[in-house]
Amino acid sequence: MPVRVRVKIKSLRGFKAGETVETSSLLNTGYIGASSEIIIPVKLAENLGLWPPPNDIGRINI
């Protein structure tokens, strides 16, 4: 059963490094990935300074 929770996401890279955004997130959706993932809307990525992506990265693993 999916559960919505409030989360704070802090940008560690990009031109707004250190920027924090509070939003809602879905947990326990049954999606299985190879590693932990966070998928965010483009508008949120823009607010965190992660979109458009910097030229020196493709995927960030934390």
Q: Is 25 within a domain?
A: yes
Report, as an integer, the average pLDDT of 25-30: 80
Query: Per residue in 35-60, pLDDT tens?
Result: 877 888 899 888 888 888 767 665 65
| Residue 10, domain extent | 3-47
Question: What is the per-residue pLDDT for 60?
Answer: 59
Q: Residue 49: name the closest of 21, 13, 22 by CA.
A: 13
Give the C-alpha distances (Å, rounded to integers) separating 28 from 2, 24, 40, 56. 5, 14, 16, 32
Per DSSP, what are the bridge partners of residue 7? 23
What CA–CA distance (Å, rounded) separates 37 from 35? 6
DSSP designation for 49: T
Q: Structurally, how many domains does the chain consist of?
A: 1
Q: Is 24 within a domain?
A: yes
> pTM of the predicted model, to two decimals?
0.63
Mean pLDDT, the chain, integer: 81
